[in-house]
Structure 1
Amino acid sequence: MRKHLARILDSPLFNRSDRLRRFLQFSVSAALDGDSERLKEYVVGVEVFDRGPSFDPRIDPVVRVEARRLRARLQRWHDTEGRDSDIIIELPRGGYAAEFRLRDKQGHNAREQHAEKTIAVLPFTNLNADPELDYFMDGLTEELIHALTRLRGLHVVAWPSVSRLRGEDEDLAGIGEKLNVENILRGSVRRSGERLRMTAQLINVANRHYLWSEAWDRAAVDWLVIEQEIAQAIAEKLRVDGRLPRDTAPQRTTVDPETQTLYLKGRFQWNKRTLEGLRAAEAYFRKAADRDPDFPLAWAGLADTYAVMATFSMAPPAATMAAAKDAAERALALDASSSDAVTCLAFVRGEYDWEWQEAGELYRRAISLNPGYMTAHQWYGGDYLAVLGRFEEAIRELETAIRLDPLSSIVLNTRALVSMVAGDYEDAHRRYQDLVEHDPWFFMGWSALGRLYAQMSEYDLAIEMFQKARAMAGDFPKILGALGQTLGLAGRTHEARGVLRFLDRVSQTQYVGGTSFALVHLGLGEHDEALSRLERSVEQRELAIVWLKVHPAWDALRSEPRFNSILQRVGLCDSLP
């Protein structure tokens, strides 16, 4: 084993990284010496990375950062230079002691023959040097990604992750390592009036060889045709099945330029996932649908927008969820193969209608239509399986979503949430810490970390996290509710009541779900008031209600008959497929 370790350490992937060499050597030696139990985050920080005795892993993420790098580097070594090795060394998630196993050569060879090809489509470059056209480049890239996900045997990284790598397209090796892909598609677009001049290149990450390149000079109305030509070329060059299943083939290949522009502007705004962005997206998608009522993508965009508005509690759920359902059904009437629309309809049927069996069937249909559609896996895992308490299945779906979108803060946040509601606070803590380090401006990560600290009775830390989230997001009712509950649990009664009064004032000008009030009352020990608020939330079909069965924030009410009556009304007491 030590000879195998020496081979790894002397390889080009490791011989220039002193940090990773020290970490791997320390980890392997501890495992071989039977000292694995000692390898906690603090010990690694002090003994490998020379942190002093005051090292606090909650503040300094060096060990977690380097562990992620080491895992990725080891996997890369075993897949390339070490592919002939009989031994595999791994660093398991959630731990720092190396583990060893023998490679299954027969299974490995079979997997190599049938393995999915992997690709990332980088944001196309805007050659117009006009930031007003960024929406077009981003929208075109995202739609191309969506087209590629329909190809069998091709793993395509989702838009949110590749969008974070804008401007890094010269560092192909770094992108390949971050996204765990073998191939990269990049290109450029110049728009002149109603004409598109477009180039695309398919590049192998390992050797930087160009596998294919092409250029187009077409009418802008042909953008969907160009997408299909690119998808077909990639299928041929990567030797994947370029045939689309009969029920997933797109029904339209042309759309007038103005409708196209409105739709792409809508997607550009939707991807911001901000309150202002969602309002702008709604307006653009609505204009596109009004201009061309037979354009299914506009209706699918509207459905997505209303669904996310509902999760942000931007309006009473009766308004947003009914609109989401109507738009999804309009999209499906025009294109029955729209996995986006099926996914959105599944979300409505579960989160709002509480028709859980039908929701599950719809999610599975969406995934069968397009296994590469990340949001279907994310919502099926996080908004269906998890709320029903089916945590192992939820984790499998969310791990698939992470593989499709490895840098998405929203997906990483959902995965950590499932660990928390499943009772694995240690894993949830590690994941939330990694998340806020990966994306320090993602307010949901700080708020979620605050909820975890509150469950761990670390009230001061929890309050600090909520205040950070509030500084970024403003007076978001969900943050205020969690903050008020924690203040009450910490004995800061006066401040908790101040949050109740503030929520009441906010509710005079915007929608505030009853669960935010209920949490504060619960933190103050006022169970009857909390239950009354929850009962009103059930009447309004507030989306947060579906988490009552599994979220530990409500544990103090589980012995209350009124609480169990609420669970029964929402359909959370039944076993569902």
Structure 2
Amino acid sequence: MEGVVLHTSGEPQTTDVPASAVTAPLIDAALARVLASRSLRGSARGRRFLQFVVQEALAGRANRIKAYTIAMDVFDRDASFDPLLDPVVRIQAGRLRRALEHYYLTEGAADPLRIAIPKGGYVPQFSVVPVAAGTDLPVNASGPASAPTHEKSAPHRARLFLGRRIDHPLRWLAVAAMVTLLAVVGLGLFAGWRGIAPDPSKNAPERAAAPDAPQRAMRGPALLVLPFTNGSGDPALDLVADGITEDLVAALVRFDDLLVFGADTSFRYPSAPALREAVPTTRVDYLLKGSVAQTGDYIQITATLIAAKDHRYLWSDSFRRAATPARLLDLRHDIAVQVARTLAQSDGVIEREEARLSGQHAPQDLSSYACLLRTRQYWRQLSVALHAEVRDCLERTTRSDPGYPEAWAALAMITIDEARLGFNPSPARPDPIDHGLQLAERAVALAPDSALSLQALGLAWWLRREPQRSIAAYEQALALNPNDSAILADLGRCYSLTGEWERGIPLIREAFARNPAQPSWYRIVIATYHYVNGRYDDALEEMRRANLGREVILGHVALAMIQGQTGNRAEAAKAVSEILRLDPNFPIKAVSEFERRNIHPDIIVRIVDGLRKAGLAVPPSQTAGGEWL
């Protein structure tokens, strides 16, 4: 197989698979398993990307696997594509790497052959995993030799469907939906462990979990996605409606504090009364319903969120897209992700409604979930008073509800802010960063699949000056929930401040594009990027957009260094005055403060130069890089 990069690995007491056994059908089987997995279930772009690079490698065209060809063949860019101006391939490759890593850590742990996209390029590598002596390997693309009959029948049915004449863009969409649904049904993969799956032996649903996944108590709101309806007379749209229902559940289920009933529950109990009749104790707080319609060569998907208790319409939107064959899979996925972000991310429709309801209670009477909502409000506003309130609330929550991993994760980050931002330091915690790390590790131990727990771990390692461990934790969190803009922003901050601007800044910008309510202090990082490149007006504009409160010292530091370079003495003096008001000792510890945030030495040199020009008396000191400031 010319062009294929093969790696083998071995361990004691195993029998290595010889390289000669790695045939094209074996690689095809490995690819089919990944494409049908939960890890890539919600990413049509990721599936297209992986399929393209693997097939090109198998065809002996590894030298053709470049950003330019991927952009044109996978992402429909034209000949004017410039990878330096358009980071789509680099960003999607990072997501694909994380999805593959997550797959082989979970449902693909026993796969005999693994696919990887090494950093620094896009040519896939195929690693033969040692297996126990006597284990049979799959020899064809239909899957393992021991696969149940129904797993093999799904691709066969798909071929029969594809054998029919398809002469309309929406027919292509129906084909895509059919293939996806057959793969899901054939492999028994539903939306996620939070869902409810019907038990054939009972006339009632019960909670279903992924293998080895712990059950969690229901603390946040519960959402039932009703099957989307066909608003046109074309039967082909039945499959499209079912597909968008599946995609919505897959996108929504990634948000930790939202209980989303599985798609199989949606199809079996297509209304809240039907579900409550089957299981009277089931709670449903929100309903998401919608329809799919055809208008010429366009498809229109309408979605509406309803409060189940009083049937109030909380949100509705309509999405109209051209149904071209090249973009059908992306179309459905992109709409589902857009709806999920609008509803479920921080400051989304559901969180705002829940915050409104919890705002009627005193802080000491907040529920576990309401306490977490108040914490997210603090992250958006960053104030000393709110920090004290949520710290007290989270400490009560972890005492009364010790099995709530997200509460431990939030408390870890609030504790770390005692050192990171200087908010409400406590004599009981002489080392809040170390204490925060312990809290984050407890959160991860309670729920290894919680994205918020891994975010807390990433922040703790960041302040412990172990940036690579921090980045690894954030990357793992993003693999668990690629729809969470807060994780994108945190990962972008890490890459940017360590000097990898080309990787970090696009992530932060994408986070703001996804969620304009993203905490504005991330704009300090973008302002610093403009600053080190001499674009002081752009840096000032970012700081104006940040609109930080007077209590965030790093905001004043950024303004001081920028104004120091522009020569605006009045504004520079004002920023320096604010720095000294908040911390009179900041000048003598400025360099150490920047170093413990893992800021690259070259960036520190530029920051300190601006601060001195602004009038902040930063004394000479030596950085880790050996340069005198």
* Mapped contact 1:342–1:362 kept (Cα < 8 A): yes
Q: In the alignment, which residue of structure 2 is the partner of 1:4?
A: 23
1:395 aligned to 457, 466, 471, which one? 471
Cα distance between partner residues in 1 of 2:91 and 2:115? 19
Q: What's the offset of the Cα at 1:320? A: 0.9
Cα distance between partner residues in 2 of 1:413 and 1:43? 28
Q: Identify if the C-alpha distance between structure 1 residues 163 and 531 changes in structure 2 by more than 3 Å, giving closer, same or farther.
A: farther
RMSD of aligned C-alpha atoms? 6.1
Query: 5+ unaligned residues in a row in structure 2: which ranges?
Result: 3-21, 36-46, 137-143, 145-188, 197-205, 229-240, 255-261, 286-308, 315-340, 419-424, 426-430, 587-592, 622-629
Q: In the alignment, which residue of structure 1 is the partner of 2:386?
A: 320
Structure-to-structure mapping, 1:44-63, within 5 angstroms: 44-45=70-71, 53-58=79-84, 60=86, 63=89
The one-letter code matched in structure 2 to 1:356 is I
Single out whichever of 40-49 and 348-357 deviates more from structure 2: 40-49
Provide the aligned length of Structure 1 versus Structure 2. 423
Q: In the alignment, which residue of structure 1 is the partner of 2:492?
A: 416
TM-score of the pair, normalised by structure 2: 0.50
The secondary structure found in structure 1 opposite 2:279 is: strand
The secondary structure found in structure 2 opposite 1:386 is: helix
Cα distance between partner residues in 2 of 1:337 and 1:122? 16
The secondary structure found in structure 2 opposite 1:406 is: coil
Q: In the alignment, which residue of structure 1 is the partner of 2:433?
A: 356
Bigger proportion of residues as helix: 1
1:517 equivalent to 2:556? Answer yes
* Mapped contact 1:9–1:21 kept (Cα < 8 A): no
Q: Deviations over 1:344-403 (max 9, x none)?
A: 22222211236112111122222223333321111221x211233212322332243234
Q: In the alignment, which residue of structure 1 is the partner of 2:279?
A: 216
Q: What's the offset of the Cα at 1:271? A: 4.7
The secondary structure found in structure 1 opposite 2:374 is: helix
The one-letter code matched in structure 1 to 2:451 is M
Cα distance between partner residues in 1 of 2:378 and 2:452? 16
Q: In the alignment, which residue of structure 2 is the partner of 1:371?
A: 448
Cα distance between partner residues in 2 of 1:289 and 1:334? 17
Structure-to-structure mapping, 1:100-499, within 5 angstroms: 100-106=126-132, 120=192, 152-153=212-213, 170-171=242-243, 186-187=265-266, 198=275, 215-218=278-281, 223=283, 271-274=344-347, 281-288=354-361, 293=365, 298-312=366-380, 314=381, 316=383, 318-352=384-418, 353=425, 355-381=432-458, 383-428=459-504, 435=510, 440-443=513-516, 479=523
Cα distance between partner residues in 2 of 1:478 and 1:85? 40
Q: Identify if the C-alpha distance between structure 1 residues 533 and 374 changes in structure 2 by more than 3 Å, giving closer, same or farther.
A: same
Cα distance between partner residues in 2 of 1:332 and 1:499? 37
Q: Identify if the C-alpha distance between structure 1 residues 321 and 51 changes in structure 2 by more than 3 Å, giving closer, same or farther.
A: closer
Q: Identify if the C-alpha distance between structure 1 residues 490 and 26 changes in structure 2 by more than 3 Å, giving closer, same or farther.
A: same
Q: What's the offset of the Cα at 1:329? A: 2.1
Identity of aligned residues (%): 17
Return the index of the structure with the highest Cα Rg.
Answer: 2
Q: Deviations over 1:102-145 (max 9, x none)?
A: 232239989x9xxxx98516889xxxxxxxxxxxxxxxxxxx99
The one-letter code matched in structure 2 to 1:305 is L
* Mapped contact 2:193–2:213 kept (Cα < 8 A): no
1:556 equivalent to 2:606? Answer yes
Q: What's the offset of the Cα at 1:323? A: 0.3
Single out whichever of 319-328 and 356-365 deviates more from structure 2: 356-365
* Mapped contact 1:120–1:184 kept (Cα < 8 A): no
Q: Deviations over 1:256-294 (max 9, x none)?
A: xxxx99xxx9xx99955239987765553253568x94x
Single out whichever of 548-557 and 275-284 deviates more from structure 2: 275-284
Q: What's the offset of the Cα at 1:322? A: 0.4
Q: In the alignment, which residue of structure 2 is the partner of 1:138?
A: none
The secondary structure found in structure 2 opposite 1:186 is: helix
Q: Identify if the C-alpha distance between structure 1 residues 48 and 414 changes in structure 2 by more than 3 Å, giving closer, same or farther.
A: closer
* Mapped contact 1:155–1:404 kept (Cα < 8 A): no
Query: 5+ unaligned residues in a row in structure 1: which ranges?
Result: 125-143, 200-213, 227-259, 446-472, 567-577
Q: Deviations over 1:399-448 (max 9, x none)?
A: 43234323322223323333333444454467568x56xx8433488xxx
TM-score of the pair, normalised by structure 1: 0.54
* Mapped contact 1:119–1:154 kept (Cα < 8 A): no
